[in-house]
Amino acid sequence: MNDSDQALIYDLDLEALEKILIDWGEPRYRASQIWTGLYQQLWNSPQEFTSLPHALRTRLAETFSFSHLTAGAVKKSSDGETTKTLFTLPDEKAIEAVMMLYDQRRTLCISSQAGCLMGCIFCATGAMGFQRHLSSGEIVEQVLYYARQLRAVGEAVTNIVVMGMGEPFHNYEAVMAAIDRLNHPQGMNLGARRFTVSTVGLVPGIRRFAAEGRQVNLAISLHAANNELRSSLLPINKKYPLSELMTACREYIQATNRRITFEWALIQGVNDTPRHAEELASLLEGMLCHVNVIPLNPTDGYSGQATTRERALAFQQTLQAHEVPCTIRLRRGIDMQAGCGQLATQARKK
């Protein structure tokens, strides 16, 4: 049996692992030992679990795969603060994950799907089309990969954003199961508020997320404040236009009392003028929210250009004049193609 035929151990929650161990005639505490090894010790091979009997280690090796991700191309930014890794899955699909180093934070941007169905025109992943959902364990494994690298230099993951390849709310169950596993107090124990899930605006997903009352942060990829422009950039807007999206966002805030982050990629001459900022301020009036604007990350398949620093500042100032909080985010990894899907798209062309 090869690894691709075996169940991925990271797809199991603790209760499922306990059930398997009990069915094998093992004491329940063995599951906790394995769980701690996986998520606290960051072991990725049955041989490392030296506290387990040899026979149990052998059975684990025969039953489970401890990796579905094969690391391939690695790109580092010239400043050394951004690292992107291309992973190949057992079915030869490609995904990416990115690690970004800030002053005190070690933030991972992870993928939830191979490819994406949403078709946003400035996104390299959207140009790939949808290939498949990732399992919860494949999402988790991206985090563990970088967690091991950070552990080796005495550091740890501080924040996780599900903003890589794919639309998280299109793969809702697997994404939330992965977050639950990483949040588990006996596992990595990353606080819920250290996670951010970003959606292009799948209204049913936003409503479900609100109903579950999670403490995980919600971000909305907005990029336009009128339907005509937004539909031209994000086709999903034709299904869930701004009126529906904003209603769901306001319902989310009312239900959770949590702030929403709206993301806005500033594209020169497309959505970066004072008029666009005025439209956005009007759309968000009175909402508990924050706007992150970031000059567009260029991709091969889209001719749009990033806005200038001066235009970004003017956009920010217009929003702030209307009491809409706004941060200009630093573009990371431009020199090593950190935009979602760029490495995976190249890998498919080879």
- The CATH number for 83's domain is 3.20.20.70
Judgement on whether residues 233 and 330 belong to the same structural domain of the protein: yes
Say whether 92 is catalytic. Answer: no
**What is the pLDDT, as a whole number, of residue 302?**
76
Which residue among 11, 45, 65 closes a domain?
65
The CATH code of the domain that includes 23 is 1.10.150.530
Judgement on whether residues 191 and 131 belong to the same structural domain of the protein: yes
Angle, CA 212 vertex, CA 40 and CA 286 arms, to 5°: 110
Q: Identify the band that residue 2 occupies on the pLDDT scale cut at 50, 70 and 90.
A: very low
pLDDT tens-digit map of 29-57: 999 999 999 999 999 999 999 999 999 99
Q: What is the tally of helices (H) and strands (E) in the chain?
A: 12, 14
pLDDT tens-digit map of 310-347: 999 999 999 999 999 999 986 655 454 545 555 555 55
Q: Identify the band that residue 256 occupies on the pLDDT scale cut at 50, 70 and 90.
A: very high
Judgement on whether residues 232 and 290 belong to the same structural domain of the protein: yes
How many distinct structural domains can be found in the chain? 2
Contacts of 220 (CB under 8 A, 6+ apart): 198, 199, 200, 201, 206, 245, 249, 260, 261, 262, 263
Beta 260-266 vs 289-295: how paired, if at all? parallel
Say whether 96 is catalytic. Answer: yes
21/54 Cα distance (integer angstroms):
15
**What is the pLDDT, as a whole number, of residue 298?**
74
Judgement on whether residues 315 and 252 belong to the same structural domain of the protein: yes
Contacts of 93 (CB under 8 A, 6+ apart): 114, 115, 131, 132
Contacts of 327 (CB under 8 A, 6+ apart): 290, 291, 292, 293, 316
Judgement on whether residues 59 and 76 belong to the same structural domain of the protein: no
Judgement on whether residues 156 and 34 belong to the same structural domain of the protein: no
Judgement on whether residues 57 and 199 belong to the same structural domain of the protein: no
Give phi and psi for 45, each to the nearest 5. Answer: -150, 135
Average pLDDT, the chain: 92
Judgement on whether residues 122 and 13 belong to the same structural domain of the protein: no
From 249, 289, 326, 340, active-site residue: 340
200 three-class SS: coil
**What is the pLDDT, as a whole number, of residue 335?**
52
Judgement on whether residues 242 and 343 belong to the same structural domain of the protein: yes
Which residue among 17, 40, 65 closes a domain?
65
pLDDT tens-digit map of 119-171: 888 888 777 889 999 999 999 999 999 999 999 999 999 999 999 999 999 99
Element (H, E) at 6: none
Which residue among 29, 49, 65 closes a domain?
65
Instruction: List the domain range (segments joined by +) for residue 258.
Output: 70-349
Identify the DSSP state of 171.
G
Judgement on whether residues 198 and 343 belong to the same structural domain of the protein: yes
Identify the bridge partners of residue 327 per DSSP, sorted by sequence position.
292
From 18, 26, 96, 167, active-site residue: 96
Q: Which residue has the tokens 């956005």?
A: 280
Judgement on whether residues 96 and 218 belong to the same structural domain of the protein: yes
Identify the bridge partners of residue 65 per DSSP, sorted by sequence position.
8
Judgement on whether residues 230 and 266 belong to the same structural domain of the protein: yes
Confidence (pTM):
0.92
